[in-house]
Structure 1
């Protein structure tokens, strides 16, 4: 009953978000903009997004290794794609992360608490880098004027984000923080690939100015989509563009078209996990005997 109520609430919020977006934009204009998008640039954007997910999967593999769950690269990426598929209709990553925790607990016999810590720290690691890049882009793009005389404080925040994160990570996740440098590298690669992805999306729509401003706003909106209130974040990014386009001097219809195209690309890659969703075999999972004192799970 509770799950049904939560599902109904998320459906309602998603529907309202979509309605609000479509009431504020010219649907014909958005449709024409998307139809005119360059197929070559769209393909390049799709390729870069796929590469970003490869880096993200490797990052998560580090955290599983830290708790003694050794995954083959193929098995790890399979789990990641299945998780993306679940995340598409269960917002906030709860479905995908929950699936991975459930499967790996069954196959490795690791405590659920350890597995949850690994996927949670993985998300925090990615979020910190996303926040860092969003703040950096907002400072060096045309929207930096919004900070006014307080831009020094934003620069200070930028330089403090990572040191504070590193200190908190060592305190809160003592087992996992040792991979901080490697996983942060993969987080930067993940977000870097997605930045290039958004660059090609904007080029496909004919945008040749204020590109970093669109990207900064997009990354800020991506942070907001982490809150699990809509399906796949659809509606949230679009509302951010609608709410801020006048203040920031950006094209509202381009912003909405841009975010919708990103959602379509995300969905295309995520749906590949639908063909893998049956329970994976255990031959891709090992348990580190040195860390756990147990035998292999297969």
Structure 2
């Protein structure tokens, strides 16, 4: 017997709330459990010297949003959806605003797909979904490369840090297998045939069309372009955490951030908590403790980086409230 949709939604929300609150409790306990903990420590983290690093973090994230939007635009164009960069940037910021308040940081992606449909009609739903999904995957894939590179360059000979290379290797291999399945005709056909045996016919047909869309990304030039853009985007977003660390007085080499933040970003992207809270802070606290960063500072860095994202996403809230994302004029959809 199928559950009532309302009951099902309530149970899923309760589960995500639990996944959010339980790690958050351990984060709190680790902070207040420190022998020299004092509530005044939180206020002492910030000073007049915190302003400039915070502003630099804002600039880094703002520039990364421009490069990320350009990557999204390239992927949409490969799907036959052509929109002006300024209009797409507005949709992108609306998505960022929703990402800050929806479970698992994926609510904004759903909103972007919906807005693409509003811009170009029903036929653009598949194109928007494919481009947005691939855009998210490629960003996580590329940030994993940073962790692997830092591990190979600086941490592979450190017994205390070497173990964290393995999660990055397995995640990297998983992404490689996924991209091979999505973009390969043979592997895509095998995957759809297997899934079609267990799924309804209508769902199987949609999967076939989805794999056909992903094969539009089989272009050396496109991969070179999005690799360059992802390098810039993900580097800048990791630097946001680095400058947030400087803002609270943490003097730590940037290589630690390029090694740890990718793992934190991947956990944050999982739709298992509310807005990524809880698991993100607990993992960051555990990882940065190995680099000698106190529990309070490691958590505040994550919260400050989130606050930077929230400040910039207010532009998306402004666009959303004005209804500027629903204008369908000017879209030339070439999707068949």
TM-score, normalisation: structure 2: 0.75
Aligned structure 1 segments of 4 or more residues deviating by more than 6 angstroms: 147-166
Deviations 1:125-173 (A, max 9, x none): 1111011012222333458514788899899889979976764553152
Supply the distance in 1 between the matched residues of 2:136 and 2:327 (Cα, whole angstroms).
25
Is 1:91 the counterpart of 2:91? The answer is no
What's the counterpart of residue 15 of structure 1?
21
Is 1:5 the counterpart of 2:11? The answer is yes
Shift of residue 103, structure 1, vs aligned partner:
2.4
Shift of residue 212, structure 1, vs aligned partner:
1.7
What's the counterpart of residue 281 of structure 1?
327
Native 8 Å contact 1:218 1:237 kept in 2: no
Supply the distance in 1 between the matched residues of 2:119 and 2:75 (Cα, whole angstroms).
17
Shift of residue 260, structure 1, vs aligned partner:
1.4
What's the counterpart of residue 188 of structure 1?
231
Shift of residue 111, structure 1, vs aligned partner:
4.7
Gaps of 5+ in 1: 293-298
Supply the distance in 1 between the matched residues of 2:23 and 2:166 (Cα, whole angstroms).
33
Shift of residue 271, structure 1, vs aligned partner:
2.6
Correspondence 1:66-77 to 2 at 5 A: 66-77=78-89
Native 8 Å contact 2:245 2:301 kept in 1: yes
- Name which of structure 1's ranges 81-90 and 231-240 shifts more when overlaid on structure 2: 231-240
Shift of residue 7, structure 1, vs aligned partner:
3.0
Cα distance change, pair 156–222 in 1 and its aligned pair in 2 (3 A): closer
Cα distance change, pair 272–248 in 1 and its aligned pair in 2 (3 A): same
Shift of residue 254, structure 1, vs aligned partner:
2.3
What's the counterpart of residue 65 of structure 1?
77
Supply the distance in 1 between the matched residues of 2:79 and 2:288 (Cα, whole angstroms).
45
Of the two, which has the highest radius of gyration? 2
What's the counterpart of residue 39 of structure 2?
28
Supply the distance in 2 between the matched residues of 1:60 and 1:152 (Cα, whole angstroms).
29
Q: 1:213 aligns with which of 244, 251, 256?
A: 256
Is 1:261 the counterpart of 2:304? The answer is yes
What's the counterpart of residue 175 of structure 1?
216
**What's the secondary structure of 1:273's corresponding residue?**
helix
Is 1:137 the counterpart of 2:150? The answer is yes
Supply the distance in 2 between the matched residues of 1:127 and 1:80 (Cα, whole angstroms).
17
Native 8 Å contact 2:67 2:233 kept in 1: yes
Native 8 Å contact 1:138 1:213 kept in 2: no
